[in-house]
Structure 1
């Protein structure tokens, strides 16, 4: 009798064309709301930095969030690698600062710059370490706090979420063009 093993690792980069970065990000936003994701990330971050409290969310919700963010980071990295294949056609009009969020006007015009900056400063493993550490410290009471500066990866993740959501919105509006043959 043959035993089947379940592969829990991301299939990104294993040679399957159907696991494209843009498709994974679209799937991420189909399953996770942007504001709820940013709010949960903010809660995890704030509880991780408090010494005498832990997050009130169910552990299964936190685990799902952890896995979803890991997939999101890998998909964002894949988009950053394929940056030259994507073209963004947007005309910047008078944009409200509320619409921009943490993005600058230049990043709003070209959201791929956010991914390039984030992965220039931190690797995928460092983002994984950040997410895992924040989840770990938010779920219990510990004497010690994280040993690294956790604010910069947090800001990069928030900006990456905004940029990815902007890309999916523009792709739906056909302002985000993909050259023929890039996805399939």
Structure 2
């Protein structure tokens, strides 16, 4: 008898074909602006840590954003798996602190380091758990504080957004 498993993961694509991490990131940034994504992530995080307030945004917008961020995290994980084949670097030049954002100068020149560091500390499932928890706590008032550290994954996600945008920008220049 065959061992049949039911796959409960959501499918965002109509066909079952493999996608590259870069294609998924390009798709993410086609539908989500970098500044708007960081602003939405920041507001969800702010409301998640407030006990007596909830976000005024439509819950469907928040849920869609969570789904797209989960897809983004998976794209980042795919990029780190295939990192040996490609490297995205830039020449050493004087960079303005305005361009760096949250990235260090080393991360600015080698943006894949951001993804490697994030996935060394947290798994894809832990990022999913974090995103779900943030959305849950931001959509309603509650009595208890979140049980885990929410700041560190938030910082990793923000840096990953900056690094991904930088990677795609540099790929476009080639």
One fold, TM greater than 0.5?
yes
Could you tell me how far 1:88 is from its partner in structure 2?
Answer: 2.2
Residue aligning to 1:144: 144
TM-score scaled by length of structure 1? 0.86
Residue aligning to 1:84: 84
Are 2:14 and 1:16 equivalent residues in the alignment?
A: no
What whole-Å deviation, never above 9, does each CA across 1:131-178 have from its counterpart, x for those lacking one?
00000000000001111111000000000000000000001001xxxx
Could you tell me how far 1:48 is from its partner in structure 2?
Answer: 0.4
Q: Distance in 1 between matches of 2:105 and 2:9?
A: 41
- Deviating above 3 A after TM superposition, structure 1's stretches of 4 or more consecutive aligned residues are none
Q: Distance in 2 between matches of 1:68 and 1:83?
A: 22
Residue aligning to 2:44: 44
Could you tell me how far 1:102 is from its partner in structure 2?
Answer: 0.8
Query: Once superposed, what is the RMSD of the aligned Cα atoms?
Result: 1.7
Q: Which moved more, 1:87-96 or 1:48-57?
A: 87-96
Q: Distance in 2 between matches of 1:158 and 1:125?
A: 17
Residue aligning to 2:120: 120
- Can you give the 5+ residue segments of structure 2 that lack an aligned partner in the other structure? 1-7
Number of residue pairs the alignment of both structures matches: 166
Residue aligning to 1:173: 173
Residue aligning to 1:129: 129
Q: Is the contact made by 2:89 and 2:111 (CA closer than 8 Å) also made in structure 1?
A: no
TM-score scaled by length of structure 2? 0.91
What whole-Å deviation, never above 9, does each CA across 1:48-67 have from its counterpart, x for those lacking one?
00010000100111011010
- Can you give the 5+ residue segments of structure 1 that lack an aligned partner in the other structure? 1-5, 175-184
